[in-house]
Structure 1
Amino acid sequence: MTIAMGGPGVDGLGDVVRVLGEWQHDAGPVQVHPGDVGWFWRFGAERAAAATRTWSRAGEVLAVGLLDGADLLRLAFAPEAWQDEELAQQVVEDVAAPERGVLPEGKVYIEAPMGALVRDLLFRKGWASGEAWTPLRRDLGAPVPDPGVRVEVIGPEQAHEWAAVLRASFDGSTFTGERWHAMAAGAPYAGARCLVARDEQGEAVAVVTVWSAGEGKLGLIEPMGVHRAHRGHGYGRAITVAAARALQEAGSSSVVVCCPSSNAGAVATYRSAGLEQLPERLDLYRDAP
């Protein structure tokens, strides 16, 4: 049986979300989560479908790629396919050929799980180590403390308020209430929650989205932000603790997040909220010819 690459189309995105959820295991490395697709869904279902690739054998999806921007491909693999040589070879061939529509010409990046054979093959093809990322994880088998601030689950009527805090948390963010509605309309959002933390005056100061992959699976934080005017008061720690509680209530086994290692403040915030820092992982890049 040969490996076939394809795009799921809008109608097939639900199946992609389902298999990504099945691949989430506490014992495995952090890789693309249903919530990553859900967060991308803020651009609409059509763009989410256009950004997704699958590699299948005999109709079974063994790998999923998410084009998170024009030059970055994020990969996930079925647990039994980490060392599948035929699959890894086909992925490498497809990403190396711009005419196949996976990655363009020029400098491009791939995020692949540590331990996957595809990383070794890419190194042999001349790809190099790139940016360092830090995964962090908290087991949810034990009680999670109260966050110590007022936290609410937001619905459509608070979408613009939530979006405004997120924009004030990230330089250059263009997130809007309309994008929140697009995200909330996506299949992954069925297991997600958006939270907002408020100060003593009731002003929204921090936001987070949590994504469940199902009962007994690890859940994801993506994104988390603290309004730039309210930093330094512990709101990042508080909203992260609230995120862990929300995922615990949803039946998640653990909560994970991944951020650039260069963002020392974010790493420190997550650690202060009880997440354990895991070994760094490096993305891969290929320079322009």
Structure 2
Amino acid sequence: MAITVEKPGPGGLNEAVEALREWQSEGAAWQIHPGDLGWFWRSGAEATAAAVRIWRRDGRILAVGLLDGADLLRVTTAPDVRRDEELARRMAEDVIEPERGVLPPGEAAVEAPMDALLQELLPRHGWHAGEPWTPLSLDLAEPVKAPDLRIETIGPDNCHVWADVMRGAFDGSTFTPDKWRTMATGAPYADSRYLVGYDERGDAVAAVAVWSAGVGKPGILEPMGVHRDHRGHGHGRAITLAAAAALRELGSSSAGVNTPSSNVAAVATYESGGFRRLPEVRDLARDA
């Protein structure tokens, strides 16, 4: 049977989340984690479904993509089909040809596992290496050092605190308590935790979300931020340690994060918390 690509619809998102959970494993390149869909869910189930693409063969999900913005497709595959030629060719056609409805014409980018055959096919059609990213990982086999902040776990009653810190951490952020509550309706929410760090004066200074993919599987941090009024005091390292500890409590085997290589300060923050820098990865870009 031929490979098909589809939008799942709000009711089909859980199937994509379950596939992504199943595919997470130590040592395997990750491009999309269930937590990535969970964080996107702040825009609602319909918007998340509209941004997801699923490739199938004989009913089985082979690949899941997320349009993280109008012109960026983040995509991953089941580990055993990374080099599947039929799948790679179908995915390449879908992202190259705008009429397929996966990517618009003009400038665009694709993030895919570095060992996927898709990485070799797109350059044959004029795509080139794009922005470099640095993945980092912390093994959670041993307990994590306690952070130098008071940490509070956030729920519906105090989600406004988490939202306030996020708006203060990211320029242009429009995150609100309502978006937090919308995010909490998504399937990945059950495997997540939201933390806020308070300094000695009782000010909320840093916040992070962590997402587990299940016991014994890698978890991720997405997003993590320090309020712009409280930077330069080591709060980024402290909230990162708290995030890693929360993932360990959820049973995650490791804590992972991906950050632009150009963000030298962020890379240094994670390394100061014990995260190990992994080989740099790049997306594939198409010019207008």
SS at match of 1:252: coil
Whole-angstrom distance in 2 between the partners of 1:66 and 1:210:
19
The amino acid that maps onto 1:248 is R
TM (norm. structure 2) is 0.99
1:207 Cα deviation (Å)?
A: 0.2
SS at match of 2:241: helix
Cα deviation digits, residues 11-50 of structure 1 (max 9, x gap): 1101100110111111101220000000000000000000
Whole-angstrom distance in 2 between the partners of 1:184 and 1:271:
30
1:148 Cα deviation (Å)?
A: 2.2
Whole-angstrom distance in 2 between the partners of 1:22 and 1:102:
24
Q: Could you say which residue in structure 1 is the equivalent of 2:227?
A: 227
Q: Could you say which residue in structure 2 is the equivalent of 1:76?
A: 76
Whole-angstrom distance in 2 between the partners of 1:142 and 1:30:
23
Whole-angstrom distance in 2 between the partners of 1:114 and 1:224:
25
Q: Could you say which residue in structure 2 is the equivalent of 1:118?
A: 118
Whole-angstrom distance in 1 between the partners of 2:155 and 2:163:
12
Contact 1:30 1:135 in 2 (8 A): no
Whole-angstrom distance in 1 between the partners of 2:157 and 2:106:
43
The amino acid that maps onto 2:287 is D
Whole-angstrom distance in 1 between the partners of 2:186 and 2:202:
30
Percent of aligned positions that are identical: 60
Whole-angstrom distance in 2 between the partners of 1:26 and 1:148:
29
Cα deviation digits, residues 238-265 of structure 1 (max 9, x gap): 0000000000000000010001000011
| Structure 1 stretches of 4+ moved >6 Å | none
SS at match of 2:48: helix
5 Å matches for 1:172-183? 172-183=172-183
Whole-angstrom distance in 2 between the partners of 1:250 and 1:266:
24
Q: Could you say which residue in structure 1 is the equivalent of 2:272?
A: 272
Q: Could you say which residue in structure 1 is the equivalent of 2:197?
A: 197
Whole-angstrom distance in 1 between the partners of 2:123 and 2:169:
36
The amino acid that maps onto 1:133 is W
Cα deviation digits, residues 33-79 of structure 1 (max 9, x gap): 00000000000000000000000100000000000000000001100
RMSD: 0.7
| 2:188 paired with 1:188 | yes
SS at match of 1:168: helix
5 Å matches for 1:30-41? 30-41=30-41
What number of residue pairs does the alignment pair up?
Answer: 288
The amino acid that maps onto 1:219 is G
Whole-angstrom distance in 2 between the partners of 1:274 and 1:224:
16
Q: Could you say which residue in structure 2 is the equivalent of 1:241?
A: 241
The amino acid that maps onto 1:196 is V
Q: Could you say which residue in structure 1 is the equivalent of 2:9?
A: 9
The amino acid that maps onto 2:246 is A
Q: Which moved more, 1:204-213 or 1:178-187?
A: 178-187
TM (norm. structure 1) is 0.98
SS at match of 1:92: helix
1:176 Cα deviation (Å)?
A: 1.1
Q: Give the gaps of 5 or more residues in structure 1.
A: none
The amino acid that maps onto 2:160 is H
1:170 Cα deviation (Å)?
A: 0.9
SS at match of 2:169: coil
